[in-house]
Amino acid sequence: MVASRACLALGVLLTACRRDAGPPVAAAPPPDLPLRAETESHTAATNGERFGDVMMGVSHEEDEATDFHLQLEAAHCYWLAYAGDARVAKFSLYIWDPSGKRLDSARGKKPQGLFTHCATQSGIYRLQGKVAEGKGHFAIVAYRTRAAATASAAAPEVAKVESPKADLAAIIEAQAAAAAPGAKRVGNYFAGSADSSDWFTVMEPGHCYWIIGAGEPKKVKRLYVYLWDPKSHRITENRSESDVAMVGHCAKEPGMYKFQVKVESGKGDYKAGVFVK
């Protein structure tokens, strides 16, 4: 008798579970689902612009999640509206920054609502939609607006007292006057601050050229200059032990010559000038 009662109770429990499970999720979402999410997002961001395509997801069981990846831009706010079908009771939305850190979430909300995030850095963000209670289809639509300037951003910065930078052009001119008296500069100065910079200059036969680079004193420790001919053959170089480097070349063929200025040690701004005689 006891065993019969236990089996009867178990049968009732299993029947109840099957009743709660309900029919399977429909293969296609309701046709009005994207429009509901669109209306929610557009109403909130009246001056915004539509961002990306409709993001569709489906959950065949509770807590099943769908991930999306969005390219967000800094200084913009994103209005992410979601809408679930009739079988979605509660919905959750999460967002992670490009480094994988979770930033914000809306957990266990009604099946239709809005989630806002203002990006502070540009990159690929991960967005996750999850049916927290129930199961079914959902849609997410995003609108974008430009973020308003914050008070801290608008506040004037305290002026920093910096030592005046060295006149790199004057340093180069002095080197040119000593190495190639009477030579004239070709075009403007080339300026860079990266570890290395590649530039090009036209050379003609019958002329000699000097390429002189100068880096910020005390910041650039060693400066290198390399030169390639129009056929990409390296023809000369100067690996200086100081913040000034120079190469010279008398052209035998016309064309576009490539030169590179490289900061081998240290870090700072630098300039280069091309002189011809």
Q: Are residues 258 and 184 in the same domain?
A: yes
Q: Are residues 172 and 130 in the same domain?
A: no
Q: In whole angstroms, what is the distance from residue 237 CA to residue 229 CA?
A: 12
**Domain assignment present for 197:** yes
Q: What percent of the chain has pLDDT over 90?
A: 51
**Domain assignment present for 162:** no
Q: Which of 95, 121, 150 is the last residue of a domain?
A: 150
**Quick one: which of 48, 226, 229, 51 has its CA closest to 145?**
48
Domain total of the chain: 2
8 Å CB contact between 37 and 82? yes
Domain that holds residue 253: 168-276
**Domain assignment present for 10:** no
**Domain assignment present for 4:** no
Instruction: Indicate the DSSP class of residue 182.
Output: T
134-158 pLDDT, tens digit per residue, is 999 999 999 998 865 443 344 444 4
| Amino acid identity at 256 | M
Q: Are residues 80 and 177 in the same domain?
A: no
**Domain assignment present for 123:** yes
156-199 pLDDT, tens digit per residue, is 444 444 556 789 999 999 888 877 788 899 999 999 988 999 99
CATH number at residue 85: 2.60.120.380
Q: Are residues 117 and 207 in the same domain?
A: no
> Does the pTM exceed 0.85?
no
Task: For residues 190-215, give the mean pLDDT.
Answer: 92
**Domain assignment present for 5:** no
Q: Are residues 146 and 30 in the same domain?
A: yes
47-90 pLDDT, tens digit per residue, is 789 999 999 999 999 999 999 999 999 888 888 999 999 999 99
The tokens for 45 are 């961001």
Q: In whole angstroms, what is the distance from residue 29 CA to residue 129 CA?
A: 15
Q: Which residues are within 8 A (CB) of 227 and not within 5 positions of it... i.e. 6 or more apart?
A: 211, 234, 235, 236, 237, 247, 249, 257, 258, 259
Q: Are residues 173 and 91 in the same domain?
A: no
Torsion of CA 172, 213, 180, 236, to 10 degrees: 180
Q: Which of 123, 150, 177 is the last residue of a domain?
A: 150
Beta bridge partners of residue 12, listed in sequence order: none
Q: Are residues 128 and 176 in the same domain?
A: no
**Domain assignment present for 2:** no
Q: Are residues 40 and 145 in the same domain?
A: yes
**Domain assignment present for 98:** yes
Q: Are residues 46 and 87 in the same domain?
A: yes
Own/partner contacts of 167-174, CB < 8 Å, gap of 24 or more, are 168/214, 168/215, 168/216, 168/269, 168/270, 168/271, 169/271, 169/273, 171/214, 171/244, 172/212, 172/213, 172/214, 172/271, 172/272, 172/273, 173/273
Q: Are residues 43 and 106 in the same domain?
A: yes
Q: Are residues 144 and 80 in the same domain?
A: yes
13-32 pLDDT, tens digit per residue, is 444 444 456 789 999 999 99
Q: Are residues 48 and 145 in the same domain?
A: yes
8 Å CB contact between 31 and 85? no
8 Å CB contact between 220 and 263? yes
Q: What percent of the chain has pLDDT over 70?
A: 86
